[in-house]
């Protein structure tokens, strides 16, 4: 369980470092191109989904340990 936590922290740090260069934008588009805003809400939903998956996995491991003791 400690190894999973360390792995998830390292993975989060690596993804955060890779995400930073994507924040840079080119100077501008041509005048005939319509600008489209990119919403950051998808990344928040992805982070919540990953956290929820980790929580469910840890809860499942705890219940399997309790069942194996009885």
pLDDT in tens, 8-66: 999 988 888 877 666 666 666 666 666 666 666 778 888 999 999 999 998 988 888 77
Tell me the two tokens of residue 26.
Answer: 């080119």
Q: Confirm if 58 and 3 have CB atoms less than 8 A apart.
A: no
Q: How far apart are the first and last CA of the chain?
A: 21
Whether 29 contacts 35, CB under 8 Å:
yes
Residue with tokens 């360390």: 6
Angle at 45 between CA 54 and CA 12, to 5 degrees: 50
């Amino acid at each position: 369980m400690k190894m999973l936590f360390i792995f998830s922290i390292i993975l989060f740090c690596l993804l955060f470092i890779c995400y930073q260069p994507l924040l840079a934008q080119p100077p501008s588009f041509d005048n005939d191109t319509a600008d489209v805003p990119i919403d950051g809400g998808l990344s928040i939903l992805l982070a919540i989904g990953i956290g929820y998956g980790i929580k469910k996995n840890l809860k499942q491991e705890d219940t399997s340990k309790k069942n194996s003791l009885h």
